[in-house]
Structure 1
Amino acid sequence: MSERRGVVRRYLSSRKNIAGMAGALAGVGLHLAGVIGDVWPVVALGLYGVGALVGPADPAAAPRLTDALRADAATLVTRIEPRLEALPAGTIPAVRRIVEVVRLVLDRLDEVADQPADRAAAPERLALAAEIVRVDLPMCLDTYLGRAPSTSEERAAAELVAQLDLIAAAADRLAAQVPDIHAERAEDLTRELRRRYGQP
């Protein structure tokens, strides 16, 4: 229902609707000027249709950075899954877990809290999520996969595991910093109900 309401709201503010309304007003104006008689509702409706058809379309909305980062994270996982044999055991689950935490952060950032402090901190938190997805994870994986044949596989694997642990800890800290708006709203509602119904 809310999705349908959003579609209607977007159309009402669209350029095509505004052009149609201008046409309909022109039809009403022609009636008031005495140019057309009792058929003015049909003329106004026709002019609305013409205006809506020839009116310019709204420019396409630019993709949000959070959506682009989700796509980058999905691409990264898809890129390394075929290399399962070339990676140390547990690498892909570790990367998936980091990506899931980053997705959680991105979901929360899409609904910036009402608190000014949270809104002000959102760009920095988004930059940290982007660094994890676009820089840190790819660099660690590419460094391991692109190592020289003479490099000790055991040592390189240990370094990769340590790097993924550091990135996972950073992602967890980031998730802890970004408020969960839905949980906060639920807590606020519980407090309000306790206050109203006299329970501690």
Structure 2
Amino acid sequence: MATNRFLSYLESRKNLTGSACGVAGLALTFTGLAGAYWPAVVAGLYGAGALIAPPERPAAPHFPDPAEQLGVLREDFGTLQAYLDSLELPPAAAGKLTELRQLYAALLDPGWVTDALAGEPEAVHALSRAIRQDVPECVDTYVRTRWWTRLGPGTEPPERHLERQLAVLFNEADALTAGLREAEARRQRTHTHYLEERERS
């Protein structure tokens, strides 16, 4: 540990700047300008150089870009798929959930779709929240509520809430898809405009 710190200091800006100033002090010594106090001159110049050197700039932290996030999200979606496959849900909710899963799978399918998705950080965040939080919470809440409903019949069936929740999530995913489609259409229109303007000039 101490050795690493020492080696890091040797490569630091402070040491390099101080060494350069110290070499200048040696040059003064060889020309006779430093006189008998040359050790103090060399040490003083080294210290001054080390003090005026700019501080070390720590490396900026690396955060995954949207493309990297999608790779991890794809794995999380596989985990969610396995969880959902282990459950028995009422037919209406299961059907809506199947549609939702197909939509998520299409959005996460590697290729130009995910390239377009990676260019929209807000869309990546929304999809991540749905897969990692919203869908598991909807289904888990249904499973737990269904157990309590068996003890107190006559209450509102929990599957109705599940169906409504999945419908909202599907609408959100559909709107997200429409937004990506519109972004691509906008890019196409922009490129057409650029080519037409270039033709006129």
Q: TM-score, normalised by structure 1?
A: 0.49
The higher radius of gyration belongs to 2
Q: TM-score, normalised by structure 2?
A: 0.48
